[in-house]
Amino acid sequence: MSAPFSWIEPHPHGIRIVPADSWIDPSQPVDKALVTHGHADHARGGHGETIATPETLAIMELRYNTHDGVVPVQYGETLRLPGGVDATYIPAGHVLGSAQILLEHAGERVIVTGDYKRRPDPTCPPFAVTPCDILITEATFGLPVFTHPPIADEMDKLLKALANHPEQCVLVGAYALGKAQRIIAELRAAGHDAPIYLHGAMEKMCRLYEEWGVSLGELRLVADHSKEEMRGSIVIAPPSALNDRWSRRLPEPITAMASGWMRVRQRARQRGVELPLIISDHADWNELTRTIEDVDPAETWVTHGREEALLRWHQLHQRRARALAMVGREEDAE
């Protein structure tokens, strides 16, 4: 009988499931990879076998041309891995297709959350609380200063700015996978049914979301339209395009950015953001700590983000925790 939980090993480049000789979210190519979701810091091409939800596999095919050796797993489905390890994919509420992975071996239960949030998101099913012995959690916003306001407030800010500047446009910087589609869906839910303009880099992912049943209303490409047509409209672009020459084709854009980091003024200032929208697909401090209380694991392992404060919180609440120091998932990963 080996030591408890010795079958699961954190490495700087991913989490290794020893008896199955497979990895979760490895940052280097491996023979067998279990992938939580399609963001680049978790999913990458070149694995021998890629196990993920069908949605995540579709995203990976679009982004990394992954189509050989794919193994789709539905939410709630359990897959038997070699060495007597069972893997179950559970909704994480982060982006389309995102999953927590529950691993069971020798009567021990470990959950790798991947990235997650606890708030409603019209583009993906909500995080499901699942009991386990060890919870391996992210901590992107693991500082008590990070509390994301209700998204309705932020939509309100955005629509007000639009209404106050009918001759201009509001350019929203948002990640191409997840954030952009969530914002569009939330705008539609708030009754904004005007066409929304997209940077070219957003188009394919939006189409993919629609193919998976997330309706986004009328979307237009910036490249196909004139400055005049875009007055009074919302334009969505990846954050890297905000201060790029690309934005010169827009009618006097008001620069907005949708990110959890916008909670801190100087962070918004560094990026030249005029309209900060505090919208994140990651759990904020209260969601992180509530999740740990809800799941109530015997021990928490913290993968990436601001782990120091979350470890301190565990200490203050007489809970066991350790930091895993994963590489490549630093600072601005969202």
Partner 1 sequence: MQAFAALLDALVYTNSRNRKLSLIAEYLRETPDPDRGWALAGLTGALDFAAVKSSTIRNLMKERIDPDLWTLSRDFVGDTAETASLLWPEPLSTPAKSDATAPLSISDVVKSLGTMTRVSVATDLPQLLDQLDASGRYALIKLATGGMRVGVSARLAKTAFAKAFEVSVDEVEEYWHALEPPYSQLFAWAAHGADPPDTANMPMFRPFMLAHPLEDTKVDLAEYAAEWKWDGIRVQLVHVAGETRLYSRSGDDIGKSFPEMIGALDVPAVLDGELLVRGNAQGGEEGGAASFNALQQRLGRKTVSKKMLTQAPAFVRLYDVLMLEGEDLRERAWDKRRSALEALMARLSANHFDLSQIVEARDFEHLAQIRETAREDAIEGLMLKRRDSAYVAGRKVGQWYKWKRDPLLIDCVLMYAQRGSGKRSSFYSDYTFGCWDGDPDDGAELLPVGKAYSGFTDAELKKLDRHVRQNTVNRFGPVREVTRSMVFEVAFDSVHMSKRHKSGLAMRFPRIHRIRWDKPVHEADRISALRELIKD
Closest distance of CB 14 from partner 1, Å: 21
Residue 152, token pair as written in the block? 């309705």
Residue (146 or 301) nearer to partner 1, CB: 146
Query: Which stretches of the chain bind partner 1, using CB under 8 A?
Result: 143-145, 147, 263-270, 272-276, 306, 308-309, 312-313, 316, 331
Closest distance of CB 274 from partner 1, Å: 5
Closest distance of CB 182 from partner 1, Å: 23
169 pairs with which residues across the strands? 253
Closest distance of CB 127 from partner 1, Å: 24
Residue (188 or 290) nearer to partner 1, CB: 290
Distance CA 22, CA 291 (A): 27
Residue (202 or 273) nearer to partner 1, CB: 273
Residue (111 or 309) nearer to partner 1, CB: 309
Distance CA 94, CA 128 (A): 11
Residues 6 or more apart whose CB falls under 8 angstroms from that of 271 comprise 173, 239, 242, 243, 257
Residues 6 or more apart whose CB falls under 8 angstroms from that of 5 comprise 108, 110, 133, 134
Question: Is residue 263 within 8 Å of residue 147, measured between CB atoms?
Answer: yes
User: Of the candidates 108, 99, 103, which has an alpha carbon nearest to the alpha carbon of residue 86?
Assistant: 103
Residue (51 or 143) nearer to partner 1, CB: 143
Closest distance of CB 147 from partner 1, Å: 8
